[in-house]
Amino acid sequence: MTELSRRALLAGTAALAVAPPALASAPKAGTQVPGFYRYKVGDYELTQLSDGAATFPMPEHFITNRSKERAIQEAERLYLAPAGKITVPFSPVLINTGSKLILIDTGYGPNIGPFVGHLPANLRAAGVTPEQIDTVIISHVHPDHTNGLHNKDGSLTYPNAEIIIPDVDWAFWMDKSNAAKAKTPLTKAYFANDFKTLTDLRNAGARERVSTYAAGREVAPGITSIATPGHTPGHRSFAVASGNARIFIQSDVTNIPAFFLDHPDWHVMYDHDPMLAQATRHKFYDMAAAEKATVVGYHFPFPCVGHIEKAGSGYRLIPTAWSYAL
Amino acid sequence: MTELSRRALLAGTAALAVAPPALASAPKAGTQVPGFYRYKVGDYELTQLSDGAATFPMPEHFITNRSKERAIQEAERLYLAPAGKITVPFSPVLINTGSKLILIDTGYGPNIGPFVGHLPANLRAAGVTPEQIDTVIISHVHPDHTNGLHNKDGSLTYPNAEIIIPDVDWAFWMDKSNAAKAKTPLTKAYFANDFKTLTDLRNAGARERVSTYAAGREVAPGITSIATPGHTPGHRSFAVASGNARIFIQSDVTNIPAFFLDHPDWHVMYDHDPMLAQATRHKFYDMAAAEKATVVGYHFPFPCVGHIEKAGSGYRLIPTAWSYAL
């Protein structure tokens, strides 16, 4: 029997170069599967929807309290992206309560690049049209969560939906005196983008359907908002409950878990108040681990559903295995 | 701001019971997404295809050298299944080389239950008909890999395909003197099933297209078989190479990785020669970890693609994040 060795393998596969150039019985598909995945929470049917993922050169200060070299080293160790790069996925959630279709967050919208902005297409692939959405809940006002509210022509992507925005974020990002204090190009860009997004919403024809919501309230049937500040001042997570089942939608308590869940004291460049975000992370994951709660993350590896356990000085995501039964 | 506490959450979600009984804007889908996922290896396009997954009460000796209680405890710790049960997924691979459509393994076939036997349906969902398959490679002769070769009426599922079977497994399972030595009900069932499967194949109209293959050979363009014995005597893994890219399809070097990759010296009840399987596991994963190779597993969590790293006394699977780009 052949020895299991690298040499044998490489020798064995060398003949590949002479594979015949004939036509395949079926052409290659050339595109990825539509990105959606269903699961149940009690009587509710949830669908994780991919808006896509961005792969980009590791920014100089992606982890603001660690070096770029350390970030690249960790990304390579965890096979996260091609060398020197990082990948961040974006995955909104659709909740069908039986009486309402509720979308939490809207993705990056149509103007970023080929591998993001796919939420409307993936929503349709999952059998739902944007016109059918009853409620859009925004977790926090950052472009990768809000810019999908508008189509390329500026019209509302979900024209019949009530749109609700965290009260604290609305007040914060619309306040010109806060914008005046912005120091970094990233923060300035956030203020510019967010001011435009919220102003466009306020001016939209559907103005009467746009409102703000407080933390700790049931913002839709069975969906309770949770104050998880730090990433933005008004950042919100959610508890979704139906019958005896209950899960947490964490939104951006971490960015990619391989970095910021394993290392909860690392600070991602997108956090507005890094120390408050760090405190929120510990509080949220200590609770999730103790409760053995199912946690859904916007930047988790698709399909974004898992459990949290304590591991060393941080936490570990145990992704839930793809289920065939609903 | 609301305190992040269990009490607040439970209070907040109590109102759910009074959700209105109105009709939803869209009916619930009620079924899972078709299970397939694409990725590239050089110029080759690979598609992981789900045949489904079986959830069953933890067998008395699922891990033959550990207690049932230990197995249940580990399954619960890792959120693998409802209490007292275990879930095993089954995922064949389709390889489009540009000139050939090659299927590795065929799933459990149509006679097991509602959550397995979905390979033909998922293949169609991925845009390929069973009639288009050029070659079926069987990794080893066990029912969850071979029974999908036949339709419910006994006809060949892939009527136009060349079908190749490991030479050692063909000889072993067809030998009545080996069958006579079988002691456990499981081994007896394997001999009965496998003898019938291979005999049916030999007697099929497509007899001239059924043959055996040796280890260490390029069995299809760019696909080299690797002897990884123990699970069955003729168990085979594969190296798939195109251009500079190369991955390993491990077949059943482990059953579910959460158990047998983290604990490579645990023995799953399905292994024919547990000590040889254990030795093969160490050899295979030591190589995969050293090579930083991409490894695909038939019983890995869908979509079944990842890397192996050494961790403690065993190994850890780092699942590859869902990619949006091909």
Strands A210-213 and B101-104 turn out to be unpaired
Tell me which residues of chain B, numbers 244 to 303, contact chain A at a CB-CB cutoff of 8 Å: 246, 280, 283-284, 287, 291-292, 301-303
In one-letter notation, the amino acid at residue A278 is Q
Cα–Cα distance measured from residue A66 to residue A324, given in angstroms and rounded to the nearest whole number? 41
Tell me the pLDDT tens digit for each residue of A12-59.
443 333 333 345 567 898 888 878 999 999 999 999 999 999 999 999
Q: Minimal Cα–Cα distance from B320 to chain A, Å?
A: 7
**How many Cβ atoms sit within 10 Å of the Cβ of residue B247?**
22
Tell me which residues of chain A, numbers 61 to 80, contact chain B at a CB-CB cutoff of 8 Å: 78-80
CB contact under 8 A, B12 and A291: no
- Which of B5, B7, B28 best tests the A interface by mutation, with the highest count of A CBs <10 A? B28
Q: What mean pLDDT do residues A201-205 have?
A: 81
For residue B212, what pLDDT is reported?
Answer: 96
R_g of chain A, CA atoms, integer Å: 21
ipTM of the shown complex: 0.85
Q: Minimal Cα–Cα distance from B195 to chain A, Å?
A: 23
Q: What is the mean pLDDT of each run of 10 residues along chain B (326 residues)?
A: 46 39 68 88 96 94 97 94 92 96 97 89 94 97 98 94 97 97 95 96 79 96 98 98 97 96 97 98 98 97 95 94 82
Q: Chain A within 8 Å of B13 (Cβ-Cβ)? A: yes
Tokens of A265: 């004291």
Q: Chain A within 8 Å of B9 (Cβ-Cβ)? A: yes
For residue B168, what pLDDT is reported?
Answer: 98
Residues of B in contact with A303 (CB under 8 A): 322
Comparing alpha-carbon positions, the chain A residue that sits nearest to B48 is A33
Comparing alpha-carbon positions, the chain A residue that sits nearest to B52 is A324
Q: What mean pLDDT do residues A168-192 have?
A: 97
Q: Could you say which of A8, A52, A287 has the minimum Cβ distance to residue B6?
A: A287
Q: Chain B within 8 Å of A83 (Cβ-Cβ)? A: no
* Virtual torsion, Cα A187, A168, A141, A206, nearest 10 deg: -130
Cα–Cα distance measured from residue B123 to residue A25, given in angstroms and rounded to the nearest whole number? 14
- B238 and B221 in contact (C-beta within 8 Å)? no
Cα–Cα distance measured from residue B32 to residue B34, given in angstroms and rounded to the nearest whole number? 6
CB contact under 8 A, B4 and A242: no
What region does A84 belong to: left with phi over 0, alpha with psi -120 to 50, or beta? left
Q: Minimal Cα–Cα distance from A132 to chain B, Å?
A: 6
Cα–Cα distance measured from residue B121 to residue B16, given in angstroms and rounded to the nearest whole number? 37
Residues of B in contact with A13 (CB under 8 A): 218, 222, 224, 239, 241, 246
Residues constituting chain A: 326
Fold exhibited by the domain A33-319? Metallo-beta-lactamase; Chain A (3.60.15)
For residue A48, what pLDDT is reported?
Answer: 96
DSSP for B39-107, please give it: EEETTEEEEEE--EEEEEEPPTTSBTTS-HHHHHHHHHHTT-SSTTEEEEEE--EEEE-SS-EEEE---
Tokens of B158: 């892939």
Tokens of A289: 């681990």
For residue B25, what pLDDT is reported?
Answer: 66
* Secondary structure percentages of chain B, helix, strand, coil, to 5: 30, 25, 45
C-alpha angle B157-B161-B164 in degrees, rounded to nearest 5: 100
Residues of B in contact with A130 (CB under 8 A): none
The position carrying tokens 């403690």 is B312
Residue A164: pLDDT over 60? yes
Q: Could you say which of A9, A19, A115 has the minimum Cβ distance to residue B324?
A: A115
Tell me the pLDDT tens digit for each residue of A64-119.
999 999 999 999 999 998 889 999 999 999 999 999 999 999 999 998 888 899 99
Helix or strand or coil: residue A189?
Answer: helix
Tell me the pLDDT tens digit for each residue of A112-145.
888 899 999 999 999 999 999 999 999 999 999 9
Q: What are phi and psi of B77, to 5 degrees?
A: -60, -35
Q: Chain A within 8 Å of B168 (Cβ-Cβ)? A: yes
Tell me which residues of chain B, numbers 208 to 247, contact chain A at a CB-CB cutoff of 8 Å: 214-218, 221-222, 224-229, 239, 241-242, 246
CB contact under 8 A, A224 and B322: no
- B313 secondary structure, DSSP code: T
Check whether the bond before B303 is cis (ω within 30° of 0).
yes
Tokens of B279: 């030795």
Cα–Cα distance measured from residue A192 to residue A186, given in angstroms and rounded to the nearest whole number? 10
Cα–Cα distance measured from residue B158 to residue B120, given in angstroms and rounded to the nearest whole number? 9
Residue A259 CB contacts under 8 Å (≥ 6 apart), including other chains: A63, A71, A74, A75, A266, A268
**How many Cβ atoms sit within 10 Å of the Cβ of residue B13?**
20
Q: Could you say which of B4, B216, B242 has the minimum Cβ distance to residue A2?
A: B216
**Of 3.60.15.10, 3.40.50.300, 2.60.40.10, 3.40.50.1110, which CATH number belongs to B34-319?**
3.60.15.10
Residue A182 CA: distances (Å) to CA of A159, A187, B108: 33, 6, 60
B165, B274, B190: which is closest to B230 by C-alpha?
B274
In one-letter notation, the amino acid at residue A121 is A
Q: Chain B within 8 Å of A33 (Cβ-Cβ)? A: yes
In one-letter notation, the amino acid at residue B78 is L
- B150 secondary structure, DSSP code: B
**What is the H or E stretch that residue B7 is in?**
helix B6-13
Residue A177 CA: distances (Å) to CA of A174, A182, A303: 9, 9, 40
**Gap between the terminal Cα atoms of chain B:** 44
Residue B272 CA: distances (Å) to CA of A20, B198, B258: 38, 18, 20
R_g of chain B, CA atoms, integer Å: 21
Cα–Cα distance measured from residue A164 to residue A156, given in angstroms and rounded to the nearest whole number? 14
Residues above pLDDT 90, as percent of chain A: 82
CB contact under 8 A, B26 and A224: no
Tell me the pLDDT tens digit for each residue of A211-269.
999 999 999 999 999 999 999 999 999 999 999 999 999 999 999 999 999 999 999 99
Strand spans (E) along chain A? 36-41, 44-49, 52-57, 85-90, 93-96, 101-104, 135-137, 162-166, 210-213, 218-220, 223-227, 236-242, 245-251, 294-297, 305-311, 314-319
Mean pLDDT of chain A: 91
Give the sign of the dihedral formed by CA B278, CA B280, CA B283, CA B286: negative
Burial grade of B174 (CB within 10 A; 0-12, 13-18, 19 or more): middle
B110, B164, B114, B175: which is closest to B134 by C-alpha?
B164
